[in-house]
A and B are shown apart, each in its own frame.
Chain A
């Protein structure tokens, strides 16, 4: 079963625009991670935010976490065509990560 649900399911933007995707989850967490996947290949870790953090930055990425609403958002600023990929949130479960359904981002040059 999926713990998280990403919203929107798909997002199309122009290069230079910002992309925001949201993740909602069901149970209490210790931390939340975001991963990126290119064209059905392996996932690549982007950023981890702990439950006692509200916001975290990494380069053009900004992640927020609201544990009271059980939600997180990933913002990619000044997007590039190379950012085209699927993005997944993942929460910690017992001995495993539980992934959401993903947001497919298309960035047009």
Chain B
């Protein structure tokens, strides 16, 4: 059983650029959530995908968008990067779309630096 894998692990972008982060969910998991974790803070919920549809979104602007594919993998896209977007981006998968009852399995994260 493979866990959650994310790529790339580190990347550096400049302000105004666009970035795509990728995530493969754990085998048997069909729900993927994305979190942003700024340095020294707890993870903040960006959005969740279930059956290829966005299902729940946190307080993030529309330039944060995502996709989920038929194999349950997912992408997070951020357009028009700002300096404050520098953070660790965490992908987590869970077995089903349930409200909070599921335990999340996290990937190791993608660390984005915006210069």
Contacts and interface: CB of A to CB of B under 8 A. Distances in A.
- Bind each other: yes
Interface of A: 1-2, 4, 29-31, 33, 35, 40-45, 48, 88, 91-102
A85 to B, nearest CB: 13
A30 B4 contact: no
Given A43-B90, A96-B56, A101 B100 contact: no
Interface of B: 4, 33, 35, 37, 39, 41-45, 48, 55-56, 58-59, 88, 90, 92, 97, 99-101, 103-109, 111
A88 B106 CA distance: 13
A106 to B, nearest CB: 15
B106 A44 contact: yes
A31 B100 contact: yes
A35 B107 CA distance: 13
A2 B101 contact: no
B42 A96 contact: no
B104 A2 contact: no
A94 B43 CA distance: 16
19 contacts: A2-B41, A2-B42, A2-B44, A30-B99, A30-B101, A33-B103, A40-B88, A42-B106, A42-B108, A44-B106, A92-B100, A95-B56, A95-B99, A96-B33, A96-B58, A97-B100, A99-B44, A101-B41, A102-B42
